A = this chain, B = another copy of it.
Amino acid sequence: MRLAELSRATEVPPATIKWYLREGLLPKGEPTARNQAQYDDVHVRRLRLIRALVDIGGLTTQEARAILTVVDDPDASIDEVVGAAHGALARVPDTDIDPAALTQVDRFLASRGWTVTPDSPARVELAGIVRAMAQLSPGQDPSDAALVAGLAPYADAIDQLAAAEVAELPHDVPRDVLVEQVVLGTVLAERLIGSLRRLAQESAFLSRYVAPSDTDS
């Protein structure tokens, strides 16, 4: 198909497609005689993946490219693909991380039996979150045990989920299908969990704060 058809098929404007081509996020089409190029289903699929990462995952074009570079490297292992997706998702502060918060996070990780590399971006991100929460809840017990207990409902839910997600990954599929599913499962599912949680919260709030006063009258 030609560029205009690729645009119609994916609902991505031609100018955006051209920009992705220039920026190397989208592979070039097959050149044709009339100074045009032909595109195929690989381009449709890649465009949908880019839009999912950017529009839904909230990644910048640069962050999406960093992931796609690893996806397109046939020598990259699955955990390198996961690492690239995690690197794009983590919001790591520019400033130095409070060493006390990092130590607390490491004790929490050990308490869960979660083994991660020391340069894991999520580990640094979690330290920042733990520190902000402690600062904004001054009456809170600052001990490691209290942190482990406070995070337990979250970690229990996640433990269950992460095991199910890794177990569900297909084994007998080509590498390009597997890596794409890993990226989607990492980036899109993080937004999925966020939106489900807000829906469940909204429902729980409606029943707790609204329903009683509705029935009181």
User: Which residue numbers of A lie inside 8 Å of B, CB to CB?
Assistant: 11, 45, 48-49, 51-52, 55-56, 58, 77-79, 82-83, 86, 89-91, 93, 95, 109, 112-117, 120-123, 125-126, 128-129, 132-133, 135-137, 151, 153-166, 180-181, 184, 186, 188-210
Contacts and interface: CB of A to CB of B under 8 A. Distances in A.
Given A191-B129, A199-B120, A79 B151 contact: no
A20 B203 CA distance: 34
Contacts of A113: 203
Contacts of A114: 199-200, 202-203
Given A123-B199, A129-B56, A129-B188, A79 B206 contact: yes
B209 A78 contact: yes
A137 B126 CA distance: 31
A158 B93 contact: no
A55 B210 contact: no
Nearest to A124: B195
Contact of A200 (B159, B181, B194): B159
A104 B66 CA distance: 33
A165 to B, nearest CB: 7
A163 B186 CA distance: 25
Contact of A153 (B83, B109, B112, B161): B161
Given A114-B200, A184-B136, A198-B89, A11 B95 contact: yes
Most buried by B among A121, A129, A209: A129
Contacts of A209: 77-79
